[in-house]
Structure 1
Amino acid sequence: MNVFRMPVSAVALAGVALLITGAAAQPASAHPKPVPLRALAAGTGVRIGTAVDMAALADDTTYRRTTAREFNSVTAENVMKWESVEPSRGTYDWQPADDLVRSARAHGQAVRGHTLVWHSQLPGWLTTGVADGSIGATELRGILRNHITTEVKRYKGRIYQWDVVNEVFEEDGSLRNSIWLQQLGPSYIEDAFRWAHAADPKAKLFLNDYNVEGINAKSTAYYDLAKRLRSKGVPVQGFGIQGHLAIQYGFPGQVAENLARFEKLGMQTAFTEVDVRMILPVDEEKLATQATYFRGLLDACVQARRCTSFTVWGFSDKYSWVPGVFDGQGAATLMNEEFARKPAFAAVGEGLAEGA
């Protein structure tokens, strides 16, 4: 449960901003040392996290130092996904994921697992086998069970939250017509949670999706699903809101109310993949709007009773996924390509300081 927050004056916030950015109208030698986000988060009850690009972690010293300094939670951006851990059937490549877990332990960071069941980034041997009929429904169910059990057991006790089932609904609230739904029917969702729980009973198990920040058809479908499964004793313990926003579409409404309804079911909540993209080029007005979006989601988390983590999907535009997916858009993270802090970085720091 997050602690009660006393109001903070504008003067105090200005002081916090200086500590966060290290900026002040004084000689550089007199600048106060910036306070890391993870230190500001310490009194909030919320872990501050980032997705980690393992190639950047290995090759970029600034990236590596910033990851260690600023965050107390990390998520594998790609290296725990199925196509990465089992590229050939029965042949596993755990090294990159192991490296992340090892790095996290060395730097006092908790690890979020991402993701066990998804319609995307599946290994070719699996999708081809289903498509040509050489893998039937019964065998597929066994393959899925083995995948979940093997991966969760490998990291048992070292992952505090798992995104078990990822992106299973369409925008209208209907189930996504994935190979899992086509071959196994909707029961695969329940099965996945039961298998993951059996493999690591202490990890918190999450549903996870995008465009579910506020109350809408999609988030309501998740609410109804979670309520139904929990009434059957299925260990659905958390709801993950990705938080991929864009300033041109406006800030979502009823975010706090959405968190509250899941928490009333006895579930944890988390923001799991936050970034805020914009149409390029960048200008000061866009950066200011971006900062309010990051702060809006963070405040909703800090003020909620059971929101346990706030994870940004990368922290530098140098390694952001956005430009490669959204043509003409980018600048979606807390830092630019040179690791200079944007207004959004200060906004997150101020929000954490207030929350403490």
Structure 2
Amino acid sequence: MNHQRRRFMRTMLSAAAVGLVTGSAMPGRLLAQAASGRSEGTGLAGLLSGDFKLGTALSNTTLLGQNPDIEALVAWEFSAITAENAMKWEEVHPDAETWDWQRADHFVDYGHRNGMYNIGHTLVWHSQIPESVFVDGHGRLRPAADVNKTMETHIATLAGRYRGKIHAWDVVNEAVTDEGQWRESHWYKSQGEDYFSRAFHLAREVDPNAELLYNDYNMTIPAKRDFALAQITKFRSRGMPIHGVGMQAHVHLSDPEIARLEASIETIAAAGLDVHITELDVDVLPQAYDYMGAEISTNFEYSDELNPFAEGLPQNVVDELAARYESLFRLFLKHKDKIRRVSLWGTTDGESWKNDWPVRGRTNYPLLFDRDGNPKQAYRAIAGLKTSVRKSS
């Protein structure tokens, strides 16, 4: 890149950064054209770089090369990335003889090129996995030894392909119920509780340097959190390697309360584990039948009452969303000594899973960037937490 080009890029990126914090941001497309790659101190991740890593999830559409503007925006604004779906079992390993590496390879390459902290998601989960892992062609359950071997091969192949290139793995995902029991998944029914520790041992054998995480939703429910931590503590005493717990943060405007989130952050950290705030989004729509979980098989019937903002958010809800994000990040900054990473579950509102879950056909606004890639008031509220500190210091 010649001197004039470098000077132009510095000027454009500096203007973008000032605009994003003050509210006079460049349009999403122009920002994307300006931000050809991430450098230290850029965007919101730069403001938070002394506190924790700031992440987002990359969709399959983006990883197929169909969202270059989002790729550029992510490179500017974030320091960590998670593959939203590309590394899930049914996506990357749809049957015993087939591996589809296109999206996962692009994810890893993109992260490497942009100096990102890469999170692999996920090695062992009860959902989005072919039934053939557990059931043969005649409808019979496969022997436990066969299922165990399949897990071993899957982890060895997937984690082995990206050894040294994935910084952290969500090794096991959502193994515990809200009531504080083992989820009676195919994994549990076949292997018993030992499948949990086995997955972590296998991941460590394949990639000794990757951070290993347990990831789950509703970890603010004491029964669930305490049961999960009790199992982790038990298995750690027997030598299971684990570094941290991912607290999925699919929250609503008012639920759960900040105090409940704080209690779980403190409890997980007190157990000697890093806290990762994962899958963060703020649902602004009416709660569907009071459901606040994240079980993807759950769906409720559409009604206009559950989709009140199809044409856009009214200003009072925009204000509520900004206030909610500000309170969340104020909490995260208070506990930055315990929190390794905060990752949103998507970059722009248009790509969020919350548009179709748990009610298909709704229009939601749960993230920091609008459908055109422009920063929202919520973004500026978070940035203001850091800029106010800098001005006062």
Aligned residue for 1:38?
45
Counterpart Cα distance in 2 of 1:51 and 1:307: 18
On the 8 A contact 2:322/2:377 being kept in 1, the answer is yes
Q: Choose from 223, 229, 234 the match for 2:240.
A: 234
Q: Could you say if the C-alpha distance between residues 162 and 98 of structure 1 is closer, same or farther in structure 2, counting changes exceeding 3 Å?
A: same
Please state whether the residue corresponding to 2:136 is helix, strand or coil: helix
* 1:1-356 → structure 2 map (5 Å cutoff): 20-23=20-23, 36-44=43-51, 46-57=52-63, 58-129=65-136, 132-133=139-140, 135-212=142-219, 214=220, 216-247=222-253, 249-279=255-285, 280-281=308-309, 282-304=313-335, 305-327=337-359, 328=362, 330-353=364-387
Structure 1 residue 165 displacement after superposition: 0.7
**What per-residue deviation string (whole Å, max 9, x for no partner) do you get for residues 263-304 of structure 1?**
222211101100001114122222222223333333333332
CA distance in 2, matches of 1:172, 1:275: 23
User: How many pairs were matched up?
Assistant: 330
Structure 1 residue aligned with 2:294: none
Identify which of structures 1 and 2 has the higher relative contact order when contacts are C-alpha pairs closer than 8 Å and 6+ apart.
Answer: 1
Deviations 1:71-95 (A, max 9, x none): 1110001001111111121321112
Residues 131 and 262 of structure 1: CA distance in aligned 2, closer, same or farther (over 3 Å): farther
Structure 2 unmatched runs, 5+ = 1-16, 25-34, 36-40, 286-307
C-alpha change, 1:353 and 1:97, in structure 2 (3 Å) is farther
Tell me, what secondary structure is at the counterpart of 2:70? helix
Q: Secondary structure at the match of 2:279?
A: strand
**What SS does structure 1 have at the residue aligned with 2:121?**
strand
Query: C-alpha displacement at 1:128, in angstroms?
Result: 4.3
Whether the aligned pair in 2 keeps the contact of 1:82 and 1:121 (CA below 8 Å) is: yes
**What secondary structure sits across from 1:189 in the alignment?**
helix
How far apart, in 2, do the equivalents of 1:254 and 1:130 lie? 46
Question: Within 2, Cα distance between the matches of 1:288 and 1:188?
Answer: 45
> 1: distance between equivalents of 2:238 and 2:332?
28
Which has the higher mean CA deviation after the structures are superposed, 109-118 or 240-249?
240-249
Q: 1:152: Cα distance to partner?
A: 1.2
Letter in 2 for 1:211: N
Partner Cα distance (1:265, 1:177) in 2: 25
Determine the C-alpha separation between the residues in 2 that align with 1:316 and 1:344. Answer: 12
CA RMSD after TM alignment: 2.4
Cα offset, 1:317, TM superposition: 1.0
Q: Distance in 1 between matches of 2:144 and 2:137?
A: 8
Structure 2 counterpart SS, 1:88: coil
Return the alpha-carbon distance in structure 2 between the equivalents of residues 60 and 207 of structure 1: 30
